[in-house]
Amino acid sequence: MQQPIPNSQFLIPYCLHLADTTLILSHRNSEWCGHGPILEQDIALTNIALDLLGQARNLYQYAATLMGDEFDEDKLAYLRNPSEFKNHLITERPNEDWAVTVLRQFYFSSFQHYFYSELKNSSDKQLAAIANKSLKEVAYHLRWSSEWVIRLGDGTTESNAKMQNAVEVLKDYTDEFFVMSNEEIELLQQAISVDLSTIKNNWQQKINEVFAEATLQFLYSTQPKIGGKLCQHTQYLTDLLVDMQVLQRTYPNSVW
Amino acid sequence: MQVNFEELFLSKIDKEIKIEPKDWMPEKYRQTNIRQISQHAHSEIVGMLPEGAWITRAPSLKRKAILLAKVQDEGGHGLYLYSAAETLGISRDEMTDQLLTGKAKYSSIFNYPSLTWADMGAIGWLVDGAAILNQVMLCRTSYGPYARAMVRICKEESFHQRQGFEILLVLSQGTDEQKAMCQDAINRWWWPSLMMFGPTDSESTNSDQSIKWKIKRKSNDELRQQFVDMAVQQIKVLNMTLPDADLKWNDERKHYDFGAINWDEFWQVVKGNGPCNKERLDARKKAWNDGAWVREAAIAYAEKKKKSLPQPLQGGALKTA
Ligand SMILES: [Fe+2]
Ligand SMILES: [Fe+2]
Ligand SMILES: [Fe+2]
């Protein structure tokens, strides 16, 4: 990625981080399409995948305009290497089961809800517009996922155990939501990015509320996994991208 | 005066008045509709699998979004159809059980593999294209809930065929490799698509009565011919060929003649010996079994809420996009 236009050296990676995160979670959710436990919920999760994909596209398109003519959304999604991706690590984890999938969505949607609520006031008009539009979608994601966390947490003994296991599986992955990257710190001075420390309490409160109703116990991280924004990923992302990028890589310069 | 229910039923059929769930109907009419609607629903659900396999590999973000929405639509079609069948006194769980035990069939076309990206195009163009002809006819079927489900479904189906054709069109104008991919997919999906209309009229066991009762309004062979005539025109736009040396305009019939269908293959696939029968059913069984605890939990939770709260959570809340 060479020669960013002036003032964009922080904004471009910021957009890419936001785009990558939504794309990768959309991808994971889309793996359920046709395999969900209940037809209605298969459709609901696919709706979320579609919404996240739409958000990713908006963000990639914006990044591409900042980067210059030779870039477009597909080049950014399909022709970057794992070591260039900036998604949160929680999004690249395999789905494992419905409990982990639902809980991951709940953690992420809660985060997105507070995040976009701030980003919609960004001094960057484009980001503010994307945040505003996405916020309506996220309200639905948050409602859907919190209802399912409650339903499964407070359902049967088995479902409660599976949800509590999901809490354990994901416990090291949520701290990354609130770690400020270099570019976020820089952009904050121009009121473009979001001060993540201000939303952490709201997020935790939301989780606690829903967990209380779900009869689940929140677990704090002992070894936070926070490399995603710095392009430090797991093997899971490589595998995911090998699959996702296969056609673009195999048949370069083709139109689809 | 004694009402003759059977006569009343037949006169409604005659006058094009829809049969509704609470109306008297012959048991055989009920059973035929249950069989047909549930098999149709299963086809939508199993039909998510061959295309679903390419969602993660779609070659652009736009294609990914379209394919994801398309496969999701098929799930929605399954829902409408299961609901329509339920009005005849069978539950969705019973129907699912019939699918998983092999008692109920689904469209054999979905027992073929999707090997390349071009298959997403060929499936949309040919498989959805064939399905549309059948479904347009079914918009006028005599059982009300089925007909109404079909009207909703048909609205979405034309988008399915269009997106498939567009995938092929782009490939047909692409690199040599893409063109070859395009032709190969058409070659593989053409004959199975013709088989989708079912056995030829002289061999079709259920057809006569279904036409009398206006469940079906066109015969298998009529629909198949309509499909061939349509495809012959559209393939020209793609600059590709259909894999049938006998395709030829017949001026007397005002239709295209086409070659003999391999009915042995058809029956083999129906009997479970197609390339992917086992895979498809295994995928459905896995989804069902892995999801058992989720369904049980949802029921248990709803029971608890019924006891304690006046208003349970809105569970299946669907967002219509
Ligand atoms: Fe459909
Ligand atoms: Fe379709
Ligand atoms: Fe939708």
Token pair 């002809």: residue: B133
In angstroms, the separation between the Cα of residue B105 and the nearest Cα of chain A is: 18
CB burial of A147-158 (b: ≥16 within 10 Å; e: otherwise) equals bbbbbbbbbbee
User: Which of A29, A39, A80, A138 to mutate to probe the B interface, most B CBs <10 Å?
Assistant: A39
pLDDT of residue B207: 74
pLDDT of residue B208: 83
Nearest to A105 by CA among A88, A118, A91: A91
Chain B (242-281) residues lying within 8 Å, Cβ to Cβ, of chain A: none
Give me the phi and psi of B181, to 5 degrees please: -60, -40
Cβ contact B194:B223 at 8 Å:
no
3-state secondary structure of B249: strand
Q: How far is the CA of B51 from the centre of ligand 3 (A)?
A: 16
Is the CB of B298 inside 8 Å of chain A's CB atoms?
yes
**What token pair was written down for A201?**
């309490």
The reply to whether residue B304 touches residue A154, judged by beta carbons under 8 angstroms, is yes
Instruction: Count CA atoms closer than 13 A to B3's CA, side-chain side.
Output: 6
In angstroms and rounded to an integer, the radius of gyration of the C-alpha atoms of chain B is 21
Tell me, what's the ipTM?
0.96
The reply to whether residue A159 touches residue B297, judged by beta carbons under 8 angstroms, is yes
Read off the pLDDT of residues A106-124 as tens digits, 9 standing for 90 and up: 999 999 999 999 999 999 9
For residue B218, the 8-state DSSP code is S
Is the CB of B309 inside 8 Å of chain A's CB atoms?
no
Give me the phi and psi of B249, to 5 degrees please: -65, 135
Q: Which amino acid is at A24?
A: I
Is the CB of B315 inside 8 Å of chain A's CB atoms?
yes
Distance CA A250, CA B177 (A): 11
Count CB neighbours of B289 within 10 A: 11
Task: Give chain B's residues under pLDDT 70.
Answer: 1-2, 206, 309-321
pLDDT of residue A94: 97
**What token pair was written down for B281?**
């059913």
Prediction pTM value: 0.95
CB nearest to A158's CB, from B79, B286, B293: B293
Token pair 């997020």: residue: A203
Cβ contact B210:B26 at 8 Å:
no
**What token pair was written down for B105?**
């069939």
The reply to whether residue B68 touches residue A30, judged by beta carbons under 8 angstroms, is yes
Is the CB of A151 inside 8 Å of chain B's CB atoms?
yes
The reply to whether residue A162 touches residue B293, judged by beta carbons under 8 angstroms, is yes
In angstroms, the separation between the Cα of residue B305 and the nearest Cα of chain A is: 10
Chain A (76-105) residues lying within 8 Å, Cβ to Cβ, of chain B: 77-78, 97-98
Superfamily of domain A8-250: Ferritin, core subunit, four-helix bundle (1.20.1260.10)
The domain locations on chain A are 8-250
User: Which chain A residues contact residue B62 at CB under 8 A?
Assistant: 57
CB nearest to A33's CB, from B52, B171, B298: B52
In angstroms, the separation between the Cα of residue B163 and the nearest Cα of chain A is: 12
A-chain residue closest to B301, CA distance: A155
pLDDT of residue A165: 98
Read off the pLDDT of residues B156-215 as tens digits, 9 standing for 90 and up: 998 999 999 999 999 999 999 999 999 999 999 999 999 999 999 888 776 788 999 999
pLDDT of residue B311: 56
Token pair 């032709």: residue: B183
pLDDT by residue for chain A (256 residues), tens only, comes to 445 455 689 999 999 999 999 999 999 999 999 999 999 999 999 999 999 999 999 999 999 999 999 999 999 999 999 999 999 999 999 999 999 999 999 999 999 999 999 999 999 999 999 999 999 999 999 999 999 999 999 999 999 999 999 999 999 999 999 999 999 999 999 999 999 999 999 999 999 999 999 999 999 999 999 999 999 999 999 999 999 999 999 999 999 9
